[in-house]
Structure 1
Amino acid sequence: MDQKECKLSAVMRDKVGKGSARLLRKNGQIPAIIYGNMSDPKPIALSAKDISKRLYSKNFMTTILTLDIGKELVHVIPKDYQLDPVSDILIHADFLQVSEGSTVTVHVPVRFINENKSPGIKQGGKLNVVCHEVSLLCPANNIPDSITVDLNDLKIGDSIHMEDIRLPEKTSSMSQLNITIATIVAPISGS
């Protein structure tokens, strides 16, 4: 599990619930839970500073994290997190434990290339992005940073669908194959 891997320290939590979670946050820690891999959920606490730094870095939700929990190293991928509705500060995280050979469902951003080579855009058309990210099922150790869509030959009125996108090996779409990713739309004429 070496692709996009990051190591963080964590400790097991004895107590769960609202009161203990508040106390953890007051002491600079974030309550979290690890589930999956056919084991019981494990309540843990992480340094608020360390996990927040990872949260606001690129590709947090598609990065394998190695949690050092005492004498145990656990490979996880973030599955959900909660932010305080007022301060926007991280208050809780959920992690899915993964192992070698695991497959995971992730949301991966869509990246567009060759906009300047698209005949439709050269004629004044605009790129209308319908899906900014796609849901993929892929090996945990081979999560793509993004999915690339080439706009090289697109004309006004053309569209790209999920079925048109070439995915990495052993990766499949969890979205419908006929879902529209982007279209080239005609320029709006002024009156």
Structure 2
Amino acid sequence: MTDFVINAVAREDEGKGASRRLRREGLVPGIVFGGDKRKKPASISIPNNELVKLTEDQAFFSSILTLKLDDKEEQVIIKDLQRHPAKPVLLHADFQRVTKSNKIKITVPLQFVNFEKSAASKAAAKFAVEKNTAEVLCLADKLPEALTVDLTSAELGQILHLSDISLPEGVEIVALRRGADHDQGIGYVYAPRGSKAK
């Protein structure tokens, strides 16, 4: 897993006016919450340019992050990130503390592999991705960098669903916990126009 480190500073002043002031100074207001019940939410600020750079790597959004605050380090995940609609400026960031005993909900990428080995591919069929992420529930130490979808046995006309993903031990897909009617399609095999795929 990639090691992402966020350098944050505690802030006392809150509210819209304070947030605007921070943004003018090139800082992103944020909050850290959750974790141990004795820990209160903490208001923080992070240099905008540092956070923008971190968010350029897609792995940032599905990784356990190290938050450095007041000479202490905490493990967190990003829960929400508000961006300016037109400028490369982040408006607000929410982080959730991670503990060894509490499960976390986080969105991870799907990696589709081995389609070229399938009979469908050899018969000139193509695979179309419909969904490239899935929300998972797991303990922090079980968090996968990505979920792999093996397409070796993909067949023409087949629709793959969330339930077709082979999950590492201790990892659940959140949608599937809600029942079979939440088993969304993630991709399908089709014959391109004019091909002789059968």
Equivalent of 1:182 in 187, 193, 197: 187
Name the SS of the counterpart of 1:141 in structure 2. Answer: helix
Instruction: State the match for 1:144 in structure 2.
Output: 144
Q: Which amino acid aligns with 2:10?
A: M
For residues 1-191 of structure 1, the aligned pairs below 5 Å read 4-37=2-35, 38=37, 39-176=39-176, 178-189=183-194
Moved segments of 4+, more than 3 Å: none
Give the structure with the higher percent strand.
1
Distance in 1 of aligned mates of 2:72 and 2:139:
23
CA shift for structure 1 position 18: 1.7
Gaps of 5+ in 1: none
Distance in 2 of aligned mates of 1:105 and 1:15:
30
Q: Which amino acid aligns with 1:24?
A: L
Distance in 1 of aligned mates of 2:90 and 2:13:
19
Per-residue CA deviations over 1:107-154 (Å, capped at 9, x if unaligned) read 111111112112212222221212211111011123211111111121
CA shift for structure 1 position 83: 0.5
TM-score (norm: length of structure 1): 0.89
Name the SS of the counterpart of 1:23 in structure 2. Answer: helix
Q: Sequence identity of aligned pairs in percent?
A: 32
Give the structure with the higher percent helix.
2
Per-residue CA deviations over 1:64-85 (Å, capped at 9, x if unaligned) read 2222211432221101101101
Per-residue CA deviations over 1:81-109 (Å, capped at 9, x if unaligned) read 01101214212100001112321111111
CA RMSD for the aligned pairs?
1.8
Distance in 1 of aligned mates of 2:58 and 2:186:
22
CA shift for structure 1 position 183: 1.3
Q: Which amino acid aligns with 2:68?
A: D
Distance in 1 of aligned mates of 2:6 and 2:158:
45
Q: Which amino acid aligns with 1:181?
A: I
Gaps of 5+ in 2: none
Distance in 2 of aligned mates of 1:58 and 1:182:
21
Distance in 2 of aligned mates of 1:122 and 1:69:
54
